[in-house]
Chain A
Amino acid sequence: MLRYILRRLLLLPLVVLGVTFLLFLLTQRLSPEMRASLYIKDPRQMGALEEVIQKYGLRDNVFKQYGRWLSGALTGDLGYSHSANMPVARAIKEYLPATVQLAVVTIVLVVFFGVWFGTVSAVKKDKWQDVCARLLSVGGFSLPIFVLGLLLLMVFYGKLGWFPPGGYSITTDVIIHSPSFHTYTGFLLIDSLLNGNIGVFWDVARHLVLPAVTLCIGSFALMVRVMRSSMLEELGKDYVRTARAKGLAESAVVYRHAGKNAVIPVITLAGIQFIRLLGGTVIVETIFDYPGIGRFGVTAAQQLDIAGIMGFSLMVAVLFVLGNLLSDILYTAVDPRIKLHE
């Protein structure tokens, strides 16, 4: 097990190198002058162009430039993001926890409701419960996230005023940046509780609802369908018949026997979706003005903030490898037949 994990972690540098180098190559399509001009805010300073090119070695051979970026990255210096007005490393540290928080809440909701609805749908196949769950899942699947997000925002913020957009209110902003508020984890939901400040917790949770629900709907639809078909398959298997023949209650047959087996494909799906949520909640974070890493990435891309883009992709690559590893490890917890060694 440990050996497997180490081996998988050895892959990490390879993936990271591949992704970042390809991206770096792409940025080379822009001429040194274009890249240098990004650092110049005032048109009157255009004369300094050549100076910037010289200073950052923008005319050097691509490997040399990439090597410079890489050695910086290895020491934790990812460059300066002019779109976020702070070093990239600090931007990631600042924005990532909010996204992780959103992703965790979303994936928990998705798995919980997906497994639940999928199970009911399979057990009550072709009954009204099944029809409802399927309609809901097809509906959720076909509704584009940006439409749904705007709709929810219109109704629950515009009309009812229940769930505001953004990450937290101004009051909370003041509290969390005051010296008496300790940052333990960077996750505001946890930190607020650790600080014993329920008000902040509620405020943050309230701001989480709409983006989380929006993200849920699409993933939920897929989860229900996977769980339903997986459950139906398991319910038809011989060991389920054995369980019934033993005189077990139907709930034990469904949950203890079929359910545990049926949930295995759900784990893969949840793993993939979780990674996707971490790196790709761009649309939702933009709609709800949620201060997460996705919004940072999209702003960096819009403003051609090369350091920001590189840092963002580096982070996504790392998360991707780690996320896959995590879902592999989860597998072994559920299915004893899978052993993580070769």
Chain B
Amino acid sequence: MNAREDILLSVEDLRVSFRSEEGKTEVLHGLSYRLPKGKVLAVVGESGCGKTVHALSLLNLLPSGGEIAAGHVYYQGKDVLSLPPQELRRLRGAEIAMIFQDPMTSLNPIRTVGSQITETILAHTDCTKLQARARAMRLLKQVGIENPRKRMDEYPFQFSGGQRQRIMIAMALCLTPGLLIADEPTTALDVTIQAQILKLIKNLQQKNHMSAVFITHNLAIVADIADEVLVLYGGYCVEEARADELFAKPLHPYTQGLLHSLVSLKRKEEHLPAIEGYPPAPGTPKEGCPFAPRCPRAWDKCHDRLPPLFEKNGRRVRCWLQEKDDNSGRN
């Protein structure tokens, strides 16, 4: 990433652990990245790799049992995680907004859609109820809900999944935040709706010059929307690069595997290629590279020692293969 660019969000050595009866389990092992203004960062990985946990920690929204063990999240220079509750609240929704994975459960089932949007506006601004309502109506129209005047007073169950996600988007963008965190916003929707929602987010992001952290396991989405890509595996960042570079030349064997398993119309194969094995369960004691057990190119060293993040040409890769060319890696 270019250091001269205006950095909006900077995450430093973020570690998250969960308490359970067996003790603490660290699920995110020191994640660091920087996001310039107006850019979109995609965080990619399989289920359980720490994507969502990372997204929730950005706003200190971890569920009970989860805690941020170490690290900092700076938004416009402010240390988000050490803000007093009052100020953190002012940031949430107004400066940093979030869209969640499941639009079916993310809206309060027994309150009207309109009231759920207007309450965000009312919580952060001095406008009157009527003004907030007018604004909410405009937003609904903007995200493609027809007849917003009538639909404002309807309940979430009267909307389809795609429409609910549109409402979530309207709610997230009602105060034109500087940063949007989208946690798999299209995963729960069917494919045609996915494309529409994605397009909507992309349009609004560009129109409002918003930065976004886009969490997904879908590489097709990444290619469509992201400027930067960060690949997570087992709670570690294994690769970070500009999207075009990553797709052109993935460096980490895991990323290579992911790209290889994409459905392609050019290839004619009986079976889709897949990465053998399963990702490590959180809390599995490990020395060495988390991907080593599944890596086709692993050797002894990979099983014994965790590779540092090697930095090369503005790209970062956590793989011993890089050591051969470059020894200036940093952890």
Contact = CB atoms under 8 A, between A and B. Distances in A.
Interface of A: 236-239, 241-250, 252, 256-257, 260-261, 334-337
Interface in B75-106: 85, 89-94, 97-98, 100, 102, 105-106
Given A247-B94, A261-B110, A237 B105 contact: yes
23 contacts: A236-B63, A236-B64, A238-B100, A239-B106, A239-B109, A241-B63, A241-B100, A241-B106, A242-B106, A242-B107, A242-B108, A245-B92, A245-B97, A245-B98, A246-B119, A247-B90, A247-B124, A249-B89, A252-B123, A260-B111, A261-B109, A337-B109, A337-B157
A89 B281 CA distance: 72
What 4 A-B pairs come out closest when comparing CB atoms?
Answer: A247-B93, A247-B92, A246-B93, A238-B105
B10 interface: no
Nearest to A334: B110
B241 interface: no
Given A238-B102, A246-B92, A257 B97 contact: no
Contact of B108 (A244, A247, A250, A257): A257
Given A261-B109, A335-B110, A246 B171 contact: yes
B94 A242 contact: no
Interface of B: 56, 59, 61, 63-64, 85, 89-94, 97-98, 100, 102, 105-111, 119-120, 123-124, 155, 157, 168, 171
Nearest to A239: B108
Contacts of A335: 109-110
A237 B157 CA distance: 16
A293 to B, nearest CB: 36
A249 to B, nearest CB: 7
Contact of A336 (B94, B119, B155): B155
Given A241-B61, A247-B91, A250-B85, 7 more contacts: A241-B63, A242-B108, A244-B61, A245-B97, A248-B119, A261-B110, A336-B155
B318 to A, nearest CB: 30
Contacts of B92: 244-247
Contacts of A239: 105-109
Nearest to B97: A245
A238 B157 contact: no
Nearest to B92: A247
Contacts of B157: 336-337
B123 A248 contact: yes
A51 to B, nearest CB: 66
